Structure formats: structure tokens, C-alpha cells
Amino acid sequence: MTALQQHRHHPRTFHDNRFVYPVLSRRSHGLSVGINLNPDKICNFDCIYCQVDRTSQAETRFVELDSVLDELDALLAQVADGSLWEDPAFSAVPVDLRRLNDIAFSGDGEPTTYRNFDEIVERVAEVKARRGGQDPKLVLITNASMFHRPAVERGLETLDAHNGEIWAKLEAGTEEYFRLIERTVVPFERVLENIAAAARRWPLVIQGLFMRVQGEAPPESEIEAFCDRLCEITSAGGQLKLVQVYTVARPPAESFVTALEDRELQEIALRVRSRCGLATEVFGG
């Protein structure tokens, strides 16, 4: 499997593992070890571009903490001794990409909906510290809908204390477009408030996935509104270290969702830089 094929292939399982899986990630610039906290495929968003098949029943319904930690420890050992790169799924990875960049809380739903989120972040940080060697980031890939919950806030504090980074989803500027893309009962204002509050405490990465819907790219007014929201966050004291501008790279949930061209992504990134003065990275489909 080529590096490009692996960037487009992100299975949530690896051999006998049920919760921990390695992927070659474009946005991580190397190997990312994912921890699936939603094996039941339940999510509080129903994004039109999501690649998770929610029509089929999940084989694993509950997160088993001890199994998560055992699987993580074993996979980190494979990375450390180099045996992962002998696995047929990773043997073709170029040498310059054979580095562990992060351990990511992600998976088949919103990871912060996991009831004991603070505990699992703490335990994962302990495994990472015990393994020593490389010091990969702990990354939370999130829709930012739950930051106001005490257990999640404690988890974010632990994340920050262990070389952590929050990647918060924001891909709309208006309530109407937010509803179209995310299909959730969570208010857009709640997401914006949570991102702004977290960004006042820690530097955040913004994930902005843009796409065609029914053949139509996001309208100019929506990109302007997206920039308005970013500027409002930074004007209120929020720290946004990077805005990731990308598009669909794997088959989405809905057939009417298709990728933007690289040129269109570059134009969005240029608008973010010129309007908000923020660093951007672009990832084409």
C-alpha cells in the first residue's frame, strides 16, 4: 500500500485490537496512534461528510479501559522497536514518515462524550510517560460540543500537561450552514462559546473541512462568516495556533458530498490568513 493510499485508508481496527489503531495521517505528518472512544459508532453530530458507516451494527459496544491501555502499550512497543514497519500494512511507508507524531483521541464518534474522559486521558498519559523514548503529542480530535462539562475540562487540563493539543472542528460561519453540514441538535453558539473559552486557556488548532454539497462549493458569504467567527475568537483573547483547511479524502456518508479542488482550498486559506492573520495548512483530497 502506497503512502497516498494509506492517507486515504483509516481503519479503526488493527489486527486483534478493538480500540487502538495506527494510521498514516496527512495532518499529523507521520504516524498517528488513534484511540477509539466510540466503538458503538454513536455520535452527537451526524456530519454529511463523515466516513463512519452508522447503518451497520458495531461489534464492540463499550470501551474497556484495561484493554485500551494494553493495546496502546503493545502498539507503542511495536513503534519503539521498529516492528510496526515490518507489518505488511506499513512496510511501504517512506522512511521520512516513520515517526510517531501523536496519540489521538478520535474514532467513530465524539470522544468527549465518553463518560470517564478525564480518567482515560490521565491513564493514557501514564502509558506514554512509562514508554519514554519519543514524546508524541496527545491530540484530541473533537467537535468542541462538550468542553463545558467538568469531566471534559479536567481531561483538557491533563491533555495540556502532557504535551497535548486540541483540534477543534469549525467548518461553518453561520447557524444555517452549521445545521446543513453537522446535522446536530447542539447549538452552533454552544460550539463557538466552547472553542472561545478553551482558546483563552490553551492554543487550539482549528479543523476546517470544506466540501461541495450537491455540487456547490461553500458560498463566498459563508467563507466570510467563517473568518468572522475566527476573528471574534482571537479578538476575545483566544489563541489559534493553526487553521487546517482540507476536504474529503475518503468516501463520505452522503453521495452528494464531494471534494473541493486544491485551488479552492488555497483560496480559503488565503482568506483566513489575510482576514485573521492566522497560520494555515492546506490538505487536498
Q: For the chain, what is the mean pLDDT?
A: 92
Task: Give the pLDDT score at 36.
Answer: 96
**Which one is predicted more confidently, 180 or 58?**
180
**Each residue's pLDDT tens digit, 247-265:** 998 889 899 999 999 999 9
Query: Domain ranges in the chain?
Result: 1-168, 170-285
**Each residue's pLDDT tens digit, 148-167:** 999 999 999 999 999 999 99
Query: All 3 cell numbers of residue 229?
Result: 467567527
Task: Give the pLDDT score at 7.
Answer: 44
Report the percentage of the chain scoring pLDDT > 70: 91
Residue holding cell 489503531? 21
pLDDT grade for 133, boundaries at 50, 70 and 90: low
DSSP assignment of 105-166, as one string? EESSS-GGGSTTHHHHHHHHHHHHHHH-SS-PEEEEEE-SSSTTSHHHHHHHHHHHHTTEEE
**Which one is predicted more confidently, 92 or 5?**
92
Record: fold of 170-285? TIM Barrel (3.20.20)
Overall average pLDDT of the 98-110 stretch? 93
**Each residue's pLDDT tens digit, 12-46:** 557 789 999 999 988 878 899 999 999 999 999 99
- Among candidates 246, 280, 251, 278, which has minimal Cα distance to 262? 246
Query: All 3 cell numbers of residue 100?
Result: 510517531
DSSP state of 179: H
pTM of the model: 0.91
Question: How does strand 257-259 pair with strand 211-213?
Answer: antiparallel
DSSP assignment of 170-183, as one string? ---SSHHHHHHHH-
